[in-house]
Structures are given as C-alpha cells and as structure tokens.
Amino acid sequence: MMTTWSGTAPQALERIDRRQEQLDRLRPWPAAAAERLWDGLLPAWIAGSVAMDGNRMTLEDIAQFLSDEGIFAQYTLREHLEVLNHRQAIAQVRRLAGAKRPIRAADVRRLHALLMAGIDDALAGRYRRYTDEERAAGGTIADLMREWELWMAGSAQALHPVERAVVAHHRVLRIQPFLDGNGVTARLVMNLSLLKDGYLPAVLRPEQRHNYRQALYQADQGDYRPLVQLALEALERVQSMYLLALEP
C-alpha cells in the first residue's frame, strides 16, 4: 500500500480533501451563517488548546466566560487571561491566513505576544536566551526560527497541507523559541497553516491531552503518524460540523 511522507495512509488524507472539496463547492458560504459557525467554534478551539498545557477551565465555562466575561473563582487569573488572549490570537490567525505570503517567524512572535499579554509582558513575543550548548552548536533561536521560516516557504510545500501544518507546529515545539507559551503558540501555527491552505482549523479536545503528548513524543522519535492522525480527526470533526450546517 502506498503511504505519504509521514507514513499516514493516503486514504485518510484523501477523505479530508474530499470533504474540503464538498465545503468549497458550497462557497460562497452565507456570511451570517459562516460567522455563527466561526463564533461557535471558538470556545471548543480555545478549550482544547489551553487544556493541553494544563488550563483547568471547562468548555462550558469558557463559552460562558467569552459570552459575558464573568469571573470564575475556582480558576486563576492566568487561566482567565489565557482564554481571553487566545481569542485575540485566533483573530490574528484569521487575519494572517488571508495574507498572500508564507508564514514568517515574525508572525509566530506576534502570536506569542498576544497570547502572553498580561501574563508576562516582559517576555511576550521575545525569544528566550539560548543556552551555552545551543551557542556551541552554532545557532541562536533567531537563526533556528529563520531556518524554520525558510523551510515553511521551501521544502515544506512538498508535503500534504495537513502534514505540513503538523510538522510546522512540531518544529516550533522542538525549537522552544520562548520561555513560556510554546505549546499554545505552536498549535496556533498549525491552524494558521491549515487556514492558509484553505482548510478549517483542527480543534483538539481537552480529553485528548494524554494522546497529544504521547503523539508529540513519537514525533520526537521521527514517527509523525499519531500526530497527523490526531490532526486529521480534529479537522474532520470541524468539517462535519460545517457540512451539517451549510449543506442544503
């Protein structure tokens, strides 16, 4: 059986592409319906991503918080800020997705700055200092992110868009460009890449935290199949939601 770059069965990627083609045939989507779908997606998107890094806010509480911004006593100020900041960063992702250029390292820094606003303003959008070991290896964080940017605009374009988004996010995590907030930033990069390629975002679920971390570990060992599969399943759920709402 033929396989793709990641070793994922091509049928899985083809199924995603067919569903995306179904959605594309329905364009232009009714503006009001599209906005309702996007707004309805945000709580789940935010809940799934922040949970991966230990934020305890539930989907239901996040949805309520975003609607009226009431404060929940059982959560920390940081947990509240992570949710609000993520909403702002997603809005930036949406703007960047419309830009007619590849994703840049500066975009990653901008997303990080939005995510860390009010949490650690001194470090928001700033690369961490590199270690003596990294210096001895001949690269700074800026150098590594520049290489990442060149890869995104170059050889990454040979990958299937879902594989490209997954690997782009994993490479940011391997670089660890910031002292804090690398995970949530990298997951936004993954969805920015998907949106730029005309796909919907891959929305993880909070209960997938263990599977996600295990898949990252396997990607660290060179096996990207579990991480790609998680992204495919997350993307397919969103596609299904949109098709259900938009098909006549």
Q: Give the pLDDT of the chain (248 residues) as one tens digit per residue.
A: 356 899 999 999 999 999 999 999 999 999 999 999 999 999 999 999 999 999 999 999 999 999 987 889 999 999 999 999 999 999 999 999 999 899 999 999 999 999 999 999 999 999 998 766 666 566 789 999 999 999 999 999 999 999 999 999 999 999 999 999 999 999 999 999 999 999 999 999 999 999 999 999 999 999 999 999 999 999 999 999 999 999 98
Count of the separate structural domains present in the chain: 1
What local confidence, expressed as pLDDT, does residue 68 receive? 87
Contact between 248 and 214 (Cβ < 8 Å): no
49 lies in a domain? yes
2 lies in a domain? no
Q: What is the CATH number of the domain that holds 222?
A: 1.10.3290.10
Q: What is the CA radius of gyration of the chain?
A: 18
What local confidence, expressed as pLDDT, does residue 1 receive? 37
4 lies in a domain? no
DSSP codes joined into one string, the chain:
----TTS--HHHHHHHHHHHHHHHHTPSPPHHHHHHHHHHHHHHHHHHHHHTTT----HHHHHHHHHH----TTS-HHHHHHHHHHHHHHHHHHHHHTSSS---HHHHHHHHHHHHTTT-TTTTT-PPPPPHHHHHTT--HHHHHHHHHHHHHTGGGGS-HHHHHHHHHHHHHHH--SSS-HHHHHHHHHHHHHHHTTPPP----GGGHHHHHHHHHHHHTT--HHHHHHHHHHHHHHHHHHHHHH--
What local confidence, expressed as pLDDT, does residue 138 receive? 62
- What domain range includes position 71? 10-246
53 lies in a domain? yes
29 lies in a domain? yes
User: pTM for the whole thing?
Assistant: 0.95
220 lies in a domain? yes
Tokens of 217: 């570990």
5 lies in a domain? no
3 lies in a domain? no
